[in-house]
Structure 1
Amino acid sequence: MNDIDYSNYEELGLRDAQIIMAGILKEVADICDKYGIKYFLDAGTLIGAVRHKGFIPWDDDIDIGMLREDYRKFLSIIKNELPEHLFLQTHENDLYYDIYQVPCKIRYNNTLFIEEKIVENPKMHNGLFIDILPYDSLPKKKWVYTIQRKISNFILRSFVRCREIPEKLTFKNKLTHFIYKIVVKIFPTQRRQKLFDFLINWNDINSEYMGYGVDTTWSEYIYKKKDFFDLIKVEFEGEYFNAPKNYDAVLTQLYGDYMTLPKEEDRVWHAKTIKKLSSMDN
């Protein structure tokens, strides 16, 4: 990806970018439906569907979630199902991909999306995307979950911190980053995934509870499965997609009063740069 000549790219407006991302979502959802993979709109995308029947007007990304068993099935079939203009991005098939807390994205080729708060990495695929977020059933015991997530969060935090090292560090922070660097060397992609698979085996697939996967960093969010399943359909940008059955309980737990618009100064987005190849149609 580092050999791309971005002089051939032109600025892309937010609404045009949203339309492209909604198209990615539709193609991914169609593949999931074809193979019986249960996905659901997540986070801000779910708010957008409920409150706006589409994107939150200032939003510039899409999140969908799926339980681990569906996520694994998704990864096993998606490579052979994606059209040529889309790219499956994981740590296994994009060796330069370094957004470690999001294990899977579907990117749109010949576009460019640079996030504001993430260190720029021109080597990885930086196209417009949707996030695919795995969810895990929880272990039977709370203390097991606590240990599980302390291990996985420390591993992920080490990779994230090494990617985003500040220019000036105190002695204490230098020591901490030295430890992070050791962890990063010990756990390259395959070994890190083996550790995550080992931790996933601690989960109880029959648990009444679920949360973001061990290969993400959002361990504080725990949900009741009965609030998700069976899934319902909600409108998003003129199409209908899966959503948690009790989306109100899910969104209230995640955001509180999600139906009230935030103050204008709080209406922020992720993108620093959004572009497309000049010869590409919107």
Structure 2
Amino acid sequence: MERDIQKIQQIEFEALKTVIRILDENHLKYFLRGGSVMGAVKYAGFIPWDDDMDIALPRADYEKFIKLFSSNWSDKFWLASYRNGDAIHAYFPRILIKEEYRKQQGLPTNNHLGFSIIDVLPIDGAPATSFGRKLFAIHVAFLRALGAVWTLDVKDTIMIHKPRRQRAIKFIKMLGVQHFYSQNDIYNRLERVYSKRDTNSKWIGTITGSLFDRELFPKEVFGEGVLKQFESIKVRVPSQFDEYLKHLYGENYANEEPDDKKSHLVDKRVGE
């Protein structure tokens, strides 16, 4: 398993370098997100057990990113997005390894499309007040639950909802609400909700990520970003990366390792 992780990380790093080069050439701003920030800050590279990466872009650059990477930009990697008709079962797009290259490298699959290696999320504005953010989070959670109903029967697709939310999703399915909307209808509604406020708002974040409203921060936490070492390159992370990581993973993130070391190779769950 350790050899598999190391090989996967080498390929992910190859993809990341390609993506960052294209982003820089097109003057698009990105930040590492979530556990990838942890890797850069704590390990100056990959978290030892991690088998995927996350990047986030301000909404305007995110829109340009999808258009740019929907073309044939690599002979090894491709971008899957519901907007392009891909059965990705997620609102946000993911970079995958092309099947020919995956098989050539002897890699397994981690979902029904093959092998996802980089999640790409938008950074959007959020309400300025705590009450407004609470209502915003409830609205988003409801829509995401509606969107997740369609994927309950899809095998080998990542589920990022916690058990309590999964029970709620199953209940919604039992009610038959999904017969009135398509999954893409829900994703389009989420898009309108997410992009309602621009990234000049006092609060911004990636609420479409796995940690929901915990991924909302005062704008200055992201700031312009700072460069940190990641393996052999420099990558951009939120300016106040210590506050960012403490908020997501706890005050002792730098000194402790989680009991649950997530791996998409072991935990094949259903996507949202």
| TM-score bracket for this pair, using the shorter chain length | 0.7 to 0.9
What value does the CA root-mean-square deviation take over the aligned residues? 3.0
Please tell me the residue identity of whatever aligns with 2:124: D
Please tell me the residue identity of whatever aligns with 2:123: Y
Moved more, 106-115 or 56-65: 106-115
> How far 1:261 sits from its partner (Å)?
3.3
Query: Against the structure 1 CA distance between its residues 75 and 232, is the aligned structure 2 distance closer, same or farther, given a 3 Å change threshold?
Result: same
What does residue 169 of structure 1 align with? Answer: none
Q: Residues of 1 paired with 2:169 and 2:70: CA distance? A: 41
> How far 1:224 sits from its partner (Å)?
1.7
What does residue 104 of structure 1 align with? Answer: 93
Secondary structure of residue in 2 paired with 1:234: strand
Please tell me the residue identity of whatever aligns with 1:267: K
Pairing partner for 1:222 from 216, 219, 244: 216
Q: Residues of 1 paired with 2:119 and 2:179: CA distance? A: 23
Q: Residues of 1 paired with 2:257 and 2:227: CA distance? A: 26
What does residue 66 of structure 1 align with? Answer: 57
What does residue 52 of structure 1 align with? Answer: 43
Pairing partner for 1:207 from 174, 196, 201: 201
Moved more, 206-215 or 31-40: 206-215
Q: Residues of 2 paired with 1:254 and 1:192: CA distance? A: 27
Q: If the length of structure 1 is used for normalisation, what is the TM-score?
A: 0.76
Secondary structure of residue in 2 paired with 1:220: helix
Trace 1:144-155 onto structure 2 (pairs within 5 A). Answer: 144-155=132-143
Percent identity, please.
Answer: 25
Secondary structure of residue in 2 paired with 1:156: helix
Q: How big is each residue's C-alpha offset from its partner over 1:80-121, in whole Å with a ceiling of 9 and x where there is no partner?
A: 3621221111112253222x2x51111111225544xxxxx6
Query: Against the structure 1 CA distance between its residues 266 and 219, is the aligned structure 2 distance closer, same or farther, given a 3 Å change threshold?
Result: closer
What does residue 18 of structure 1 align with? Answer: 9
Moved more, 64-73 or 217-226: 217-226
Secondary structure of residue in 2 paired with 1:71: helix
* 8 Å Cα contact 2:59-2:195 kept in structure 1: no
Pairing partner for 1:244 from 238, 247, 259: 238
Q: How big is each residue's C-alpha offset from its partner over 1:150-190, in whole Å with a ceiling of 9 and x where there is no partner?
A: 3332222123244236xxxxxx99753233x423641341x
Trace 1:68-87 onto structure 2 (pairs within 5 A). Answer: 68-80=59-71, 82-87=73-78
Q: Residues of 2 paired with 1:186 and 1:59: CA distance? A: 35
Query: Against the structure 1 CA distance between its residues 44 and 188, is the aligned structure 2 distance closer, same or farther, given a 3 Å change threshold?
Result: closer
Is 1:186 aligned to residue 181 of structure 2?
yes
Q: If the length of structure 2 is used for normalisation, what is the TM-score?
A: 0.78
Please tell me the residue identity of whatever aligns with 1:97: I
Query: Against the structure 1 CA distance between its residues 76 and 61, is the aligned structure 2 distance closer, same or farther, given a 3 Å change threshold?
Result: same
Please tell me the residue identity of whatever aligns with 1:30: R
* 8 Å Cα contact 2:80-2:86 kept in structure 1: no
Query: Against the structure 1 CA distance between its residues 144 and 21, is the aligned structure 2 distance closer, same or farther, given a 3 Å change threshold?
Result: same
What does residue 261 of structure 1 align with? Answer: 256
What does residue 118 of structure 2 align with? Answer: 130
Between the two proteins, the alignment pairs up a number of residues equal to: 247
Moved more, 37-46 or 220-229: 220-229
Query: Against the structure 1 CA distance between its residues 126 and 248, is the aligned structure 2 distance closer, same or farther, given a 3 Å change threshold?
Result: same
Q: Residues of 2 paired with 1:60 and 1:173: CA distance? A: 27
Please tell me the residue identity of whatever aligns with 2:58: L
> How far 1:200 sits from its partner (Å)?
3.4
Higher helix share: 2
> How far 1:58 sits from its partner (Å)?
1.0
Q: Residues of 1 paired with 2:183 and 2:262: CA distance? A: 34
Larger radius of gyration: 1
Q: Residues of 2 paired with 1:70 and 1:80: CA distance? A: 16
List gaps (5 residues or longer) in structure 2. Answer: 154-167
Moved more, 139-148 or 72-81: 139-148
Please tell me the residue identity of whatever aligns with 2:51: D
* 8 Å Cα contact 2:148-2:169 kept in structure 1: no
